[in-house]
Amino acid sequence: MTKPVNASRLFVASCLALLVTSLTFALRAKIEGVFHDSYGLSREEIGWAFGPAFWGFAVATFLGGAIIDQVKTRNVLRIAFVCHLVGLIVLLFAKDKTLLFAANVFIGFANGSVEAACNPLVTTLFPDDKTKMLNRFHVWFPGGIVVGGLLSWLLVSQFNLPWQVLAAALFVPLALYGWLFFGETVPETERVTSGVSYRDMFRNTGAPCTIIALVGFMILATSTPITIDFGATVTWIVLALALVAIVVESLVVNKTSLLFPFMVFCMFLTASTELGTNQFTGALLDKTGIDPLIVLVVVTGIMALGRYFAGPLVHRLSTVGVLLASAIISAIGLYLYSMASGTDATLFAAIVFAVGVCYFWPTMLGFVSEYLPKTGALGLSVLGGAGMVGTSFVLPIMGHSIDTAGPQQTLRFMTVLPVILIVAFALLAVYLRGRRTHDGEQS
């Protein structure tokens, strides 16, 4: 006889799996300086070696979202556990960019498998509170970075233990989430239970073939010596052709809207704004007079609290309203970061930035789950994967900019991303208002 679904246990296990994911981000933020100072890697080489943590995530989320209903959620979670285990073991022996790269391949694939499995699992467990519970689930991403930051301060800074001890600490929550998932009944995804066909799931993502091809090229560009010159005419011709392909595949072939491809574009920018900045906290704030670890803990601590209490805010402002407000505040926060030169100014900028990026990731997922439910697990996975690919694409660019132009100029460059998002989310709000008006007139 099949065991009944234990929603509470599955949610706790999902949160612990995401905790391990976030602890790997905190760990990378700490060892970035170690590999630069002790092992002689340049910031650009570190950005390259960190890249698989993001595009590996994307590969796993794309693949997991496409096949999760065939291989079942529980098996995707088993893959996540094994890859986390292997990745952490390889990382313990890494002292050069090659092993660091290899470790991040496994870790990125594990993190992506967690995202591919747990996002649709949470929406299935809590169908009436999707955005609220996705925000609470994603508390453990910034929450884990806070835990990782404090562990880093205690073990490495205070007790002078090697960074490998910090990495080994991740085996504890890894073992816990493996144990909690083991033997539990994991339900089918919402797409399956609602009767949406596999073909319709793909069709409702608008342009799945073009999006996957574009993301694949971005992964190739970040993992090989390919150099993309944005000053060259051919680059813009290729981008224009990609845009035309998305429009044709969405409107002509699949006869659906461009809303999902538009959200993928926005996810490139929201994730890069949040994760790109946080990943290089040490280098960006090296000469501001404040310990970057303190800033990282402040930023992620505020993000965790904000996400936990996201329900009333989403109810008051609407999903799109939260995204627009987040873009505005993020732009202000990054600009203040770029101008900060002392402890007080840097902390104030960090607080503003944290409030800005706090709701980006879970609210983007919540928007797709609420407004585009027929995209199913694939929609959530493609969106999450796009965010990580966008970040992996930005990281080497940021690393090169920090090495050549300096941290403050890099932060000014990053401010462009939320500025674009302000325009994008304002247009999205106008579009949705027009669609509601049209639907009301038809009814």
Spatial contact of 300 and 146, defined as CB atoms under 8 Å apart: yes
Nearest to 136 by CA among 366, 321, 332: 366
Angstrom CA distances, 10 to 97, 114, 285, 341, 365, stand at 37, 13, 38, 45, 19
Identity at 182, one-letter amino acid code: F
**What's the sign of the alpha-carbon dihedral 102, 106, 107, 109?**
positive
Q: Determine the Cα–Cα distance for residues 280 and 335; give it in Å rounded to an integer.
A: 16
Sequential pLDDT tens for the chain (443 residues): 567 888 889 999 999 999 999 999 878 878 887 888 888 788 778 878 888 887 788 788 888 887 877 778 889 999 999 999 999 999 999 988 899 999 999 999 999 899 889 988 998 888 878 778 888 898 898 888 888 888 888 898 889 899 999 999 999 999 999 999 988 888 877 666 666 677 888 888 888 888 888 877 877 776 665 566 667 788 789 889 989 999 999 999 988 989 999 999 999 999 999 888 776 666 666 666 666 667 777 777 888 888 888 777 776 778 899 999 999 999 999 999 888 777 788 888 888 988 999 889 888 988 998 889 888 878 888 888 888 788 877 877 888 888 888 888 888 889 999 999 999 999 999 998 887 665 555 44
Nearest to 276 by CA among 16, 28, 20, 23: 28
Q: Residue 251 corresponds to which tokens in the numbers above?
A: 């409107």
Predicted pLDDT of residue 416:
93
Predicted pLDDT of residue 177:
95
Spatial contact of 219 and 112, defined as CB atoms under 8 Å apart: no
Angle 410-19-223 (CA atoms, 0-180°, nearest 5)? 45
Predicted pLDDT of residue 407:
80
Q: Determine the Cα–Cα distance for residues 98 and 79; give it in Å rounded to an integer.
A: 23
Predicted pLDDT of residue 120:
87
Predicted pLDDT of residue 443:
44
Q: Determine the Cα–Cα distance for residues 250 and 229; give it in Å rounded to an integer.
A: 28
Predicted pLDDT of residue 440:
52
Predicted pLDDT of residue 202:
85
Predicted pLDDT of residue 76:
92
3-state secondary structure the chain: CCCCCCHHHHHHHHHHHHHHHHHHHHHHHHHHHHHHHCCCCCHHHHHHHHHHHHHHHHHHHHHHHHHHHHHCHHHHHHHHHHHHHHHHHHHHCCCCHHHHHHHHHHHHHHHHHHHHHHHHHHHHHCCCCHHHHHHHHCCHHHHHHHHHHHHHHHHHHHCCCCHHHHHHCCHHHHHHHHHHHCCCCCCCCHHHHCCCCHHHHHHCCCCHHHHHHHHHHHHHHHHCCCCCCCCCHHHHHHHHHHHHHHHHHHHHHCCCCCHHHHHHHHHHHHHHHHHHHHHCHHHHCCCCCCCHHHHHHHHHHHHHHHHHCHHHHHHHHCHHHHHHHHHHHHHHHHHHHHHCCCHHHHHHHHHHHHHHHCCHHHHHHHHHHHHCHHHHHHHHHHHHHHHHHHHHHHHHHHHHHHHHCCHHHHHHHHCHHHHHHHHHHHHHHHHHHHHHHHHHHHC
Q: What is the pTM (predicted TM-score) of this model?
A: 0.77
